[in-house]
Chains A and B, each alone.
Chain A
Amino acid sequence: MTARRYAMAVDTRRCVGCNACVISCKTENALPSGGFRDWIVQEVHGTFPDLTMQIRSERCNHCGDTPCVAACPTGASHVADGGVVLVSKHKCTGCKACMASCPYGARWVHPDGYVDKCTFCLHRVERGQVPACQETCPTRALTFGDLADPASEVSRLVNRRPNLVLQPGAGTRPYVFFLT
């Protein structure tokens, strides 16, 4: 049996950018005002009336190569079960080195002084639940799962549907895949 590798597929064709993922993340994780672990991007190209728009629910990419972990001087940023990148708030000094190294702007400073980010809702995953954003998503645009398991839904989607990752040139090997 291989080790788990958690990943998420975001179906940009289904996503309407409603922010349900954002709000449910905020209440699930009791985030304070001003703090977001996920967010919506609408990327528009073209001129009227020849336009295209991609809508993405974005979050930490839980990269395979983790500049944030390398940059962290205290060991607070670390790779946890299934490749999930976490910050131990007890160890974090809020120095922001990880934020500077993250090409995706996925991290923010919690008012209590530590850096915070998406955890893939690992506390839920350990109980056999899906992340809160996926649970609420009305268009079922989000699919979380174990990419190491070829039978998982996320494997099926990533292997069969055309997809891209954000800033592949950054070389971080993201594990959030945007189905196009």
Chain B
Amino acid sequence: MALSRRQFIQIGAGGAGGAALATGLPTRWWGLDGDPTPDPRTDGDQVVASYCELCFWGCGVLAHVKDGRVTKITGNPAHPLSRGMLCPRGAGGTGLLYDPDRLQRPLLRRAKRGEDVFEEVSWDAALGKVAEGLEGVKQRHGPEALALFTHGSGGAWFKQFMKAWGSPNIGAPSYAQCRGPREAAFQLTFGTPLGSPEPLDLANARCITLIGSHLGENMHNTQVQELADALGAGAQLVVVDPRFSVAASKARYWLPIKPGTDIALLLSWIHVLLAEGLYDAAYLAEHATGLEELKAHVATSTPEWAGAITGLDPGLIRASARLIGAARPASLIHPGRHTVWYGDDTQRERAMAILVALLGSWGRRGGYVKQDKFPLAGYPHGGLPPPATRPKVDKPKGGRYPLASEVLASGLCDATRPGQSLYDLKAWMVYGCNLIQAMPDRPRLIEAIQQLELLVAVDVLPAEICGFADVVLPEATYLERDDDAWNGPWRQPFLAVRQMVVPPLYDSKPGWWIVKELAAKVGLSSHFPWKDAREYVQARLAVKGQSWEVLSTTGVLMGEPFPTCQEDGAELTLETESGKIELYSQELADLDFDPLPVFRPQEEAPPDHFRLLSGRAPLHTFGRTVNNRLLAEPYPENEVWLNADAAARLPGFERRPLEQGEKVVLVNQDGVRSTPVKVKLTQRIRTDCVFMVHGWGQTAAKQRYAFGRGASDALLTTRYKLDPIMGGTGMNVNFVRFERAPEVA
């Protein structure tokens, strides 16, 4: 019989010798402590280099394996995005691998869509069902009637499948529901979209300005590292946020702006820079057009004008503008991420881009720098598939969104409702993105889903979208599979590999295997001639003379450094039509949009309502990590932030005011009710808005930990405002009121 420590100690107190003999320990009392330094022995017998998939940043990791189990994940010091350090999510990757709720075997739906009733089947049966469904859709509606929604590195295999299949409808919510507006704005102004990771030199900035971007809570590892480095080196921080964010707490100036008025603030900052000569005149004279038009445009946009709109002290606006201007050109206006707020987001980002230009920080150290990709050969295919015959279908019938540069995921949803677009989508493959939380207007999304003839979900966990699928395909996690090599853009090109650390658990399979098997069933094997992902990657490396042996050991290979800014001797490249920075955009004017950003007021909240804002927590990536027990321990659910003074005045709560941590139900302007969520009464937010971290309130009962915890901002986002320029869905246009959550017996 094994004795626990406590039992042993209790017995030992009565008869030390006998008990000690029974457990085989030495009899000396002090000898009980055989190991003076308690070593948990989690260092791996084997350490495998790979890159992370807990978010999209792709940091290099070292996975420690002991007795066949991954014990811990640390940062790879050789990888430029992690530099040996990881955010909590990256460190918590084992929580995903060993999540007890993981999808284990392929599933076929056995009830109405959305009722989440499934039967486990073999891979052959599941892929047979997918193949049969796809062939039927192709016969009746053409191959283009299939759309792919994708997020994450494994999606590359599924994109390849789409091309072979003959459909151009490959979309990701990361564009029209996230960073799309800024891509359009920087393209218009500088001729180049920003992409990911953004080409920012935070470490060398002397002043960093964040506008609604809460770096630090929003854990983009390398950027957070560089933000800390910059602050450590004495850089100043200006933070514009209705909430006293973590970044705001470190700022020289925090501007607690009224939500929806950012363009007014930006115009007044531009006004101050121009009026006080705090801009880079020589740089603009050489590289920019439209300065005179800009000057005329902001002539009356004084801090006093903006103060009345934004609720900010004009003195604060002026002082922050001066600080920003004084630090030029190493004065970095961060472009933000998740930029879809009010439907005028391209224009807001244009105002930010114009500011970047005035500061002369495009192409400068401490500003926006050049990045490049490690050259990597394509896989030597026998022949490319014929291109799809019909165009992408994400735009409405009559056109619109002329400057969308990627497929709109929201547009694909719309094209699934009959008669909205050039042709109708009839089948979806959804890879690693839970559209239920990602998209606004959930009823309309589900209506679109119910129109489908086939929905295939590929995921690691039983995400909400899986409940709506006809076939669910369980993918192996990133620690259990090989993937394509990755060469993201960076200031020094690099190449990173993803390799299997431990074999897949259960009956999950890597994406490359799923695609190859599916292709075989629909007669597309010739497009997937590789044996497996490793052979595929090795072939790509071999063309450029890179060694798999080296790369698989180090996990990363660095390319040649090159000049990234003017200070290093880099030329300023501007790929706009004029070859100049376009402060005034003729392109927008020709399309009947404002050529310079104009502030237009947003709708005010109905009585007793608060504007609903959402954001991130460092421990979680969207709703993807909320079931991860490790990460949920320090952050188990979201809370709704409400200003404590506003709470004291809350109508209906006069007799018994809300208490800290009490559960409330949020009801939005359309009567949609949230699940009960704890209220965080705080001084750290304005009185006219509330804030929630995105990703909770999950309805997938098979994610046992996440189910029913907190509330979903996405559920409450029944309204959105479309950005007419690029089709982004501005989602900060919903309002909520408070009700006390019913007490549950």
Interface pair A44/B38, CB less than 8 Å apart:
no
A126/B5 contact (C-beta < 8 A), A27-B42, A30-B71 known = no
Min CB distance A95 to B, Å, is 10
Compute how far the CA of A90 lies from the CA of B228 in the bound complex, rounded to whole angstroms: 41
Interface pair A48/B228, CB less than 8 Å apart:
no
Interface pair A20/B86, CB less than 8 Å apart:
yes
Chain A residue contacts of B229, Cβ below 8 A: 140
Interface pair A88/B86, CB less than 8 Å apart:
no
Instruction: List A residues 1-33 near B (Cβ within 8 Å).
Output: 11, 13-14, 16-20, 22-24, 26-30, 33
Interface pair B619/A48, CB less than 8 Å apart:
no
Compute how far the CA of A67 lies from the CA of B247 in the bound complex, rounded to whole angstroms: 37
Interface pair B74/A136, CB less than 8 Å apart:
yes
A51 at the binding interface (Cβ < 8 Å): yes
Chain B residue contacts of A138, Cβ below 8 A: 85-87, 219, 221, 224-225, 228
Min CB distance B46 to A, Å, is 16
B742 at the binding interface (Cβ < 8 Å): no
Interface pair B85/A140, CB less than 8 Å apart:
yes
Compute how far the CA of A29 lies from the CA of B514 in the bound complex, rounded to whole angstroms: 36
Instruction: List A residues 61-114 near B (Cβ within 8 Å).
Output: 80-81, 86, 88-94, 112-114
Interface pair B5/A113, CB less than 8 Å apart:
yes
Compute how far the CA of A116 lies from the CA of B38 in the bound complex, rounded to whole angstroms: 11
Interface pair B683/A46, CB less than 8 Å apart:
yes
Q: Quick one: CB contact mask for B220-242 with A, threshold 8 Å, 1 for yes? A: 01001101110110000000000
In this complex, the member of A16, A40, A113, A139 whose beta carbon has the largest number of chain B beta carbons within 10 angstroms is: A16
Compute how far the CA of A92 lies from the CA of B12 in the bound complex, rounded to whole angstroms: 12
Compute how far the CA of A4 lies from the CA of B342 in the bound complex, rounded to whole angstroms: 58
Compute how far the CA of A116 lies from the CA of B34 in the bound complex, rounded to whole angstroms: 17
Min CB distance A157 to B, Å, is 11
Q: Which of B286-294, B425-433, B485-493, B626-634 touches A?
A: B626-634
Chain A residue contacts of B631, Cβ below 8 A: 23
Chain B residue contacts of A49, Cβ below 8 A: 244, 254, 256
Instruction: List B residues 1-55 near A (Cβ within 8 Å).
Output: 4-6, 9-10, 32-34, 36-40, 42
Compute how far the CA of A29 lies from the CA of B5 in the bound complex, rounded to whole angstroms: 18
Compute how far the CA of A34 lies from the CA of B636 in the bound complex, rounded to whole angstroms: 11
Compute how far the CA of A19 lies from the CA of B95 in the bound complex, rounded to whole angstroms: 15
Chain B residue contacts of A94, Cβ below 8 A: 6
Interface pair A27/B71, CB less than 8 Å apart:
yes
B198 at the binding interface (Cβ < 8 Å): no
Contact of B249 among A55, A88, A123 (CB under 8 A): A55
Interface pair B72/A27, CB less than 8 Å apart:
yes
Complex: chain B residue closest to A90, CB-CB: B32
Instruction: List B residues 64-98 near A (Cβ within 8 Å).
Output: 71-75, 84-88, 90-92, 94
In this complex, the member of B72, B74, B221, B256 whose beta carbon has the largest number of chain A beta carbons within 10 angstroms is: B72
Chain A residue contacts of B635, Cβ below 8 A: 19
A122 at the binding interface (Cβ < 8 Å): yes
Chain A residue contacts of B246, Cβ below 8 A: 16-17, 53, 55
Min CB distance A21 to B, Å, is 8
Chain A residue contacts of B138, Cβ below 8 A: none
A155 at the binding interface (Cβ < 8 Å): no
Chain B residue contacts of A53, Cβ below 8 A: 244, 246, 249, 684
B566 at the binding interface (Cβ < 8 Å): no
Complex: chain A residue closest to B313, CB-CB: A49
Chain A residue contacts of B577, Cβ below 8 A: none
A60 at the binding interface (Cβ < 8 Å): no
Interface pair B37/A122, CB less than 8 Å apart:
yes
Chain A residue contacts of B37, Cβ below 8 A: 80-81, 86, 119, 122-123, 126
Q: Quick one: CB contact mask for B649-692 with A, threshold 8 Å, 1 for yes? A: 00000000000000000000000000000000011111100000
Compute how far the CA of A38 lies from the CA of B630 in the bound complex, rounded to whole angstroms: 14
Contact of B228 among A27, A114, A140 (CB under 8 A): A140
A91/B88 contact (C-beta < 8 A), A51-B249, A114-B5 known = no
Min CB distance A176 to B, Å, is 19
Interface pair B42/A29, CB less than 8 Å apart:
yes
B444 at the binding interface (Cβ < 8 Å): no
A158 at the binding interface (Cβ < 8 Å): no
Compute how far the CA of A158 lies from the CA of B219 in the bound complex, rounded to whole angstroms: 28
Min CB distance B650 to A, Å, is 16
Complex: chain A residue closest to B36, CB-CB: A80
Min CB distance B207 to A, Å, is 16
Contact of A48 among B10, B633, B643 (CB under 8 A): B643
Interface pair A135/B5, CB less than 8 Å apart:
no
Contact of A44 among B32, B40, B634, B684 (CB under 8 A): B684
B704 at the binding interface (Cβ < 8 Å): no
Interface pair B228/A141, CB less than 8 Å apart:
yes
Interface pair B256/A14, CB less than 8 Å apart:
no
The 4 closest A-B pairs by CB, nearest first: A16-B216, A139-B228, A113-B6, A123-B39
Residues of B within 8 A of A (CB): 4-6, 9-10, 32-34, 36-40, 42, 71-75, 84-88, 90-92, 94, 216-217, 219, 221, 224-225, 227-229, 231-232, 244, 246-247, 249-250, 254, 256, 618-619, 629-631, 633-635, 643, 645, 682-687
Q: A36-B634, A136-B85 are in contact. List 12 more A-B contacts (CB 8 A).
A: A14-B231, A18-B88, A18-B619, A20-B90, A27-B94, A46-B683, A47-B645, A48-B643, A48-B683, A53-B246, A53-B249, A93-B9
Residues of A within 8 A of B (CB): 11, 13-14, 16-20, 22-24, 26-30, 33-34, 36, 39-40, 44, 46-49, 51-55, 80-81, 86, 88-94, 112-114, 119, 122-123, 126, 132, 135-141
Pairs A–B under 8 Å by Cβ, sample size 29: A13-B231, A13-B250, A14-B228, A14-B232, A17-B618, A19-B88, A23-B630, A24-B91, A26-B633, A27-B91, A30-B42, A48-B687, A51-B683, A53-B249, A81-B37, A89-B38, A90-B34, A93-B6, A112-B4, A113-B5, A122-B38, A123-B39, A126-B37, A136-B75, A136-B85, A138-B87, A138-B219, A138-B225, A140-B85
